[in-house]
Amino acid sequence: MKDTFSAASYLEGKDQKWLVTGAAGFIGSHLTQALLEANQRVVAVDNFLTGKPENIEDVKRRVGALASKKLEFHELDIRDQAAMSRITKGVDFVLHQAALGSVPRSIKDPMTSHDVNVNGFLSVLEAARAAKVKRFVYASSSSVYGDHPVLPKVEEQIGNPLSPYAATKRTNEIYARAYASAYQMTLVGLRYFNVFGPRQDPDGQYAAVIPRWVKGVLTNSEVAIFGDGETSRDFCYIKNVVQANLKAAIDPGVEAGHAIELNVAAHKQTTLNELYNAIRDGLSAKSGNARIRDHVPVYKDFRPGDIRHSLADIEKARKLIAYQPTHSVQEGLSESLDWYIESSR
């Protein structure tokens, strides 16, 4: 795939004010960086529950002092509705990324996942309604497809949620449709499929699979594969996700006063065994450390709440917002491994 999407070119000549929630997180920090590089004004929000201050500092370093002047950062909780209403005044577009991710986390503590992911979502949504934003784009999840067996996943066919996390994301979509109907807001829910890339945290109990495995291989520690390794996912590189968010916010293909959901993925299945081999071999080649090739994973029981296979149909996103993935799994993984190797030094 060829990198043909540029946020700066796409937003050239547009002077807009954006609200990014979860801005110190993995996806939020990349969105914030892309917007600042495109000379946009950004109101950024994070409470550092899962986001990291160093991500915001890294964004500032990368965009430079001049662009950083257009960043207005607020350390606050999205559930603080009064604060959210105050900082959302004058905002044109909302990119809502703040949430507590992880299926296992939601199974262990469903109440907190609900509070942040649903009540927090509603708080931001109310602030956006009061501010009369032009469009509200939010992070949904492929988990809403639940137990629906058909592949690839199409937006109009969902099953029963298999975890509290999936239930919170589906609830977000229901609220979005209700607000579109009741208040004529324009909302786009992006159903992310296993996003990965630089700045994704390898530490913590609920770290995503790719950064966790990269750290495990680099440090010669345990890498656990749950099940037989033939479970498959549609891994999507972060630059594809940035493209989808900006196009979902700006593209005229989204009908005003309505709510829609779009898959954001690479439309490519990768098994966990294939992923592990690609990480191990890639790290060995890039680091020059021959020992890495001797690393082997540990297979454990399947986890409750996990789906067996996942693959997205992305035709709806192609049609409505001209979404076109620029990075394959292999290309994105290569860039990510470079970043993790450099960060480990």
Within 8 A by CB and 6+ apart from 296, the residues are none
Confidence of residue 175 (pLDDT cuts 50, 70, 90): very high
The pLDDT score that the predictor gives to residue 7 is 87
Share of the chain above pLDDT 70, in %: 98
Domains of the chain: 7-343 (3.40.50.720)
Angle among Cα 259, 263, 264 to the nearest 5 degrees reads 120
C-alpha dihedral (156, 157, 163, 165), degrees to nearest 10: -10
Tell me, yes or no, if 165 is annotated catalytic: yes
Q: What is the per-residue pLDDT across 107-140, written as a single tens digit (0 to 9) for each?
A: 999 999 999 999 999 999 999 999 999 999 999 9
| pLDDT tens-place string over residues 194-241 | 999 999 988 866 668 999 999 999 999 999 999 999 999 999 999 999
Mean pLDDT calculated for residue range 60-89: 97
Residue 250 pLDDT greater than 80, yes or no = yes
Phi and psi at 123, nearest 5°, equal -65, -45
Instruction: State mean pLDDT over 19-39.
Output: 97
Percentage of the chain beyond pLDDT 90 is 86
d(CA 156, CA 26): 28
Three-point CA angle 335, 246, 25, nearest 5°: 55
Q: What is the pLDDT of residue 182?
A: 98
E strand or H helix at 60: helix 53-68
277-290 confidence digits (pLDDT tens) = 999 999 999 988 88
Q: Is residue 305 over pLDDT 80?
A: no
pLDDT confidence tier of residue 103, bands split at 50, 70 and 90:
confident
305 Cβ contact partners less than 8 Å away, ≥ 6 residues apart: 103, 104, 106, 107, 162, 163, 165, 166
Whether 306 has a pLDDT exceeding 90, the answer reads no
Reported for 83-88, long-range contacts at CB under 8 A and 24+ positions apart, including other chains, are 84/45, 84/123, 84/124, 84/126, 84/127, 85/126, 85/127, 85/130, 85/131, 87/19, 87/43, 87/45, 87/127, 88/19, 88/43, 88/124, 88/127, 88/128, 88/130, 88/131, 88/133
Instruction: Quote the pLDDT of residue 225.
Output: 95
Of residues 145, 165, 175, 276, which has the active-site annotation? 165
Per-residue pLDDT, 313: 97
Per mean pLDDT, which range of 1-10, 150-159, 180-189, 212-221 is the poorest? 1-10
Per-residue pLDDT, 260: 97
Question: What would the two tokens of residue 169 be?
Answer: 């994301």
CA-derived radius of gyration, the chain: 19
Residue in this structure with the two tokens 């037989």, named with its chain if needed: 228
What mean pLDDT comes out for the span 247-254? 94
32 three-state secondary structure: helix
Question: What residues have CB less than 8 Å from 293, skipping those under 6 apart?
Answer: 280, 281, 284
Burial of 331 (0-12, 13-18, 19+ CB in 10 A): middle
pLDDT averaged over every residue in the chain: 94
> What average pLDDT does this structure show over 94-99?
98
- With beta carbons less than 8 A apart as the criterion, state whether 242 and 196 touch: no
- How far apart CA 97 and CA 45 sit, in angstroms, is 10
What would the mean pLDDT of 157-181 be, rounded to a whole number? 96
Both structure tokens of 213? 């495995």
